[in-house]
Amino acid sequence: MFQFTVTAKNNRARTGIFSTPHGDLVTPVFAPVGTQATVKTLTPEHLKSINASLVLSNTYHLYLRPGDELVRDMGGLHKFMQWPNPMLTDSGGFQVFSLAKTRKIDNDGVTFKSHIDGSTHRFTPEKSIAIQENLGADIIMAFDECSDPNDTAYSKIAMDRTHRWAERSVNAKVRADQALFGIVQGGVNPDLRAESAEFIASLNTPGIAIGGLSVGETKEEMHTILDVVTPLLPEDRPRYLMGVGTPEDLINGVLRGVDIFDCVLPTRLARHHSAFAPEGRLNMMNATFARDERPIDETCDCYACTTFTRAYIRHLIVAKELLAGSLLSIHNLRALIRLMEEIRSNIKDGTFETKAPILLERWGNNAKRA
């Protein structure tokens, strides 16, 4: 279990298979985010129809609601939300720092107030692992501290704490059917990142996550950090770039040796009427689409694109019909999953490095609105 086999490489980009208790994960892979044990507005059948393989859910949210013990008693996360394929949970660390009302961090853990009702809670590495064991995802994360990437002095403190917490996370783990990934931190400082990559690699976890990116740094900084980090990580372990990203981030990440991605962007954009398209991100509420009989993206094979016109989807948005969000979520997720399928195919036939500039030209403009 948790063997990672690289089946083809193009320079640093690679495609491979990561075996999990809920099936093989073919990488590189983009994971839709099911924050509260559901990818917003979609059924598991929708996710299967777009060829989703890995689904992420959030430890912080599920711990607060409905509670990790309830999920455990209902048979675990896979059974609870009826997702039969691989799942991943984060450690809760990022949400404690980004969502909780107040937080007080010490070397042992974090005390915080719930963003839902203000109640007080405490996460430690041991607590995060216990929650994630109750949830039962195939891939779980060490508890980490995600700091402001531009505060180098504090990044060092947070990184050292993250390393201690990673060791404690490894020691706290009991279940054998879950792969615990350590998380590389260190802000935008290349030296700290190198130190962190070497330390986390030394823990010999079955996979390694790269945290603390896509949190305010520039694209160039992200690329620099990836260029420092991935060469220091073992070849035979999958690398997970947390919370990333846009189509261009996926292409650039794979070019730099990343295997797993997740991001709320496609579903969040969908709920705000934005659609990924080759010509750039489309605001589907735009009046120019009122009588547009084309699908969102003529090259797309998703249910929304093979069934409905832009005119209909625009009508749903203007009429405030929730189906619009579902259809755009299906499309946006499928766009990223299809991009990953194309990238895997290109790596397999040895053309990814030459085709990457074309992919970047086609999808790069989706970072902003068309």
Task: Output the smallest distance, CB 325 to its own copies, in A.
Answer: 7
From candidates 80, 94, 181, 352, binder to its own copies by CB under 8 A: 80
Question: Is the Cβ of residue 220 or residue 298 nearer to its own copies in the bound state?
Answer: 298
DSSP sequence for 150-204: T-HHHHHHHHHHHHHHHHHHHHH---SSSEEEEEE--TT-HHHHHHHHHHHHHTT
Question: Is the Cβ of residue 33 or residue 250 nearer to its own copies in the bound state?
Answer: 33
From candidates 5, 11, 82, 120, binder to its own copies by CB under 8 A: 82
Task: Output the smallest distance, CB 53 to its own copies, in A.
Answer: 19
For Cα atoms 355, 357, 363, give the angle at the middle one, nearest 5 degrees: 100
Torsion angle, CA of 92/98/102/108, rounded to 10 degrees?
40
Q: Give, as ranges, the residues between 202 and 261 that touch its own copies (CB under 8 A).
A: none
Q: For tokens 């990934």, name the residue.
A: 181
Q: Give, as ranges, the residues between 5 and 64 that touch its own copies (CB under 8 A).
A: 36-38, 40-45, 61
How far does the chain reach from its first CA to its final CA, in angstroms?
Answer: 44
Q: Give, as ranges, the residues between 319 and 338 that touch its own copies (CB under 8 A).
A: 319, 321-323, 325-327
Distance CA 66, CA 46 (A): 23
Question: Is the Cβ of residue 42 or residue 159 nearer to its own copies in the bound state?
Answer: 42
Task: Output the smallest distance, CB 297 to its own copies, in A.
Answer: 17
For Cα atoms 23, 344, 6, give the angle at the middle one, nearest 5 degrees: 65
From candidates 202, 307, 351, 354, binder to its own copies by CB under 8 A: 307
Task: Output the smallest distance, CB 154 to its own copies, in A.
Answer: 33
Position 283 contacts its own copies (CB under 8 A): no
Reference 221, options 155, 158, 268, 280; nearest CA is 155
Question: Is the Cβ of residue 187 or residue 295 nearer to its own copies in the bound state?
Answer: 295
From candidates 66, 190, 278, 364, binder to its own copies by CB under 8 A: 66
From candidates 73, 177, 279, 361, binder to its own copies by CB under 8 A: 73
From candidates 51, 115, 285, 303, binder to its own copies by CB under 8 A: 303
Question: Among positive and negative, which fits the CA dihedral 157, 160, 166, 169?
Answer: negative
From candidates 117, 220, 293, 298, binder to its own copies by CB under 8 A: 293
Task: Output the smallest distance, CB 92 to its own copies, in A.
Answer: 16
Q: Which stretch binds its own copies (CB under 8 A): 72-80, 91-99, 143-151, 243-251?
A: 72-80
Q: Which stretch binds its own copies (CB under 8 A): 236-244, 256-264, 286-294, 336-344?
A: 286-294
Under 8 Å between Cβ of 207 and 139: yes
Task: Please state whether 45 falls in left (phi above 0), alpha (psi between -120 and 50) or beta.
Answer: alpha
Question: Is the Cβ of residue 268 or residue 315 nearer to its own copies in the bound state?
Answer: 315
Strand partners, 25: 18
- The catalytic residue positions are 90, 262
Position 285 contacts its own copies (CB under 8 A): no
Distance CA 115, CA 96 (A): 9
For Cα atoms 33, 210, 87, give the angle at the middle one, nearest 5 degrees: 35
Position 312 contacts its own copies (CB under 8 A): yes
Question: Is the Cβ of residue 314 or residue 344 nearer to its own copies in the bound state?
Answer: 314
Reference 34, options 21, 22, 24, 47; nearest CA is 47
Q: What residue type is 68 in one-letter code?
A: D
Question: Is the Cβ of residue 293 or residue 298 nearer to its own copies in the bound state?
Answer: 293
DSSP sequence for 207-266: EEEE-S-SSS--HHHHHHHHHHHGGGS-TTS-EEETT---HHHHHHHHHTT--EEE-SHH
Q: Which stretch binds its own copies (CB under 8 A): 4-12, 69-77, 178-186, 211-219?
A: 69-77
Q: How many residues does the chain have?
A: 370
* Residues at the contact surface with its own copies, assessed by CB under 8 A: 36-38, 40-45, 61, 65-66, 70, 73-74, 80-82, 290-291, 293, 303, 307-309, 311-312, 314-316, 318-319, 321-323, 325-327
